[in-house]
């Protein structure tokens, strides 16, 4: 893998000669002349999804409601926020690394938008903590991963894969990093999201749930983006796409997600237990593999135990179904119509 030159006057931007990586482009952004039509549609959706946490009201009410949560619910609330904060922080920093090697300007434009959105998500978690949690607890939450062995192990796993690519940008490390990114966006967040949805289902912490709804909406576009990048790599550079690596990394990620969720939630949250966590995580892994046109890792798992949470995930009363493969824009982006192949 070789980094793209910042300035490349001899680049060739003709669509016929363009490729997702290892191309020779000038770097010019021109959404009227794209090779990957899905990228143009996604640009409209991602820009239309703009939001800021200050506009999501009701967190002061959550601060009052938080005091009535059980001790186990409070521990889970804080632990999951800590994990999500770390994930979006590392995403914000790492995403520009991909843009140095992807030679499709329209795809790099989407990665830039995603990096901005990850920064907004990190700000959102800070806003939640500063509003809901007492000041004396915040530092401990931010650095919970330093003292929690389970969380440190999984943060280290994803962080090391990213670091390996930055230090040794080989084809294999690039591919592994893309899969790690896809897993982070499509699998690592979602038991945490299910916890917040479950609280809202029981009429608890509704403003936090609303914030999570906006974050999830963004994350689904990120899942789509990297699924499409991976599919283009498989089409244009089939020698790079190693299915065994994908399956091995998925299996590891599923085990880590189940272990972490059981660790932070246990059987203490009504509606969530070790059985539902295992079923949901494996079901979701199958769904994400299907998006890559790959066979399921857990063919015996064919349904989600959290189907009753679908309406909770419809934040602005427009159709946004987390359990489906498409996202329909919310109020702020209703004037911009976009669709893409997933």
Check if the beta carbon of residue 107 is closer than 8 Å to that of residue 229.
Answer: yes
CA distances from 52 to 71, 117, 125, 128 (A): 30, 9, 12, 13
Task: Read off the tokens for 87.
Answer: 């994930």
**CA gap 38, 99 in Å, rounded:** 17
Which residues on neighbouring strands pair with residue 310, listed in sequence order? none
Could you tell me the sign of the dihedral formed by the alpha carbons of 198, 202, 205, 207, in that order? Answer: positive
- Tell me whether residue 143 is one of the annotated catalytic residues: no
Q: Give me the catalytic one of 36, 66, 125, 280.
A: 125
Which residues on neighbouring strands pair with residue 272, listed in sequence order? 269
**CA gap 12, 339 in Å, rounded:** 28
Check if the beta carbon of residue 226 is closer than 8 Å to that of residue 95.
Answer: no
Check if the beta carbon of residue 100 is closer than 8 Å to that of residue 4.
Answer: yes
- Helix (H) or strand (E) holding 161, with range, is helix 149-167
Could you tell me the sign of the dihedral formed by the alpha carbons of 307, 309, 310, 311, in that order? Answer: positive
**CA gap 211, 209 in Å, rounded:** 5
Kindly list the catalytic residues: 125
């Amino acid at each position: 893998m070789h980094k793209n030159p910042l300035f490349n006057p001899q680049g060739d931007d003709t669509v016929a000669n363009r490729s997702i990586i290892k191309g020779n482009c000038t770097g010019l952004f021109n959404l009227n002349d794209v090779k990957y039509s899905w990228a143009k549609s996604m640009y409209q959706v991602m820009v239309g999804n703009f939001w800021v946490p200050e506009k999501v009201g009701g967190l002061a009410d959550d601060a009052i409601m938080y005091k009535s949560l059980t001790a186990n619910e409070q521990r889970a609330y804080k632990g999951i926020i800590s994990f999500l904060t770390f994930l979006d922080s590392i995403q914000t920093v790492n995403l520009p690394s991909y843009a140095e090697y992807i030679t499709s300007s329209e795809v790099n434009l989407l990665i830039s938008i995603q990096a901005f959105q990850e920064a907004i998500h990190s700000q959102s978690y800070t806003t939640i903590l500063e509003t809901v949690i007492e000041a004396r607890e915040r530092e401990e939450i931010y650095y919970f991963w330093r003292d929690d062995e389970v969380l440190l192990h999984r943060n280290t796993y994803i962080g090391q894969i990213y670091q390996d690519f930055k230090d040794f940008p080989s084809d294999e490390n690039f591919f592994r990093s893309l899969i790690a990114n896809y897993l982070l966006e499509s699998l690592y967040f979602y038991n945490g999201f299910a916890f917040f949805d479950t609280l809202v289902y029981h009429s608890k912490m509704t403003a936090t749930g609303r914030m999570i709804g906006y974050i999830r909406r963004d994350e689904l576009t990120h899942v789509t983006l990297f699924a499409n990048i991976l599919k283009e790599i498989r089409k244009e550079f089939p020698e790079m796409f190693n299915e065994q690596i994908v399956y091995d990394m998925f299996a590891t990620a599923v085990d880590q997600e189940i272990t972490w969720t059981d660790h932070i939630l246990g059987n203490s949250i009504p509606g969530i237990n070790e059985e539902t966590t295992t079923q949901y995580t494996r079901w979701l892994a199958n769904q994400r593999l299907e998006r890559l046109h790959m066979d399921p890792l857990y063919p015996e798992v064919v349904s989600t135990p959290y189907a009753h949470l679908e309406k909770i995930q419809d934040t602005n009363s427009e159709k946004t179904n987390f359990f489906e493969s498409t996202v329909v824009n919310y109020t702020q982006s209703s004037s911009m119509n976009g669709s893409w192949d997933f």
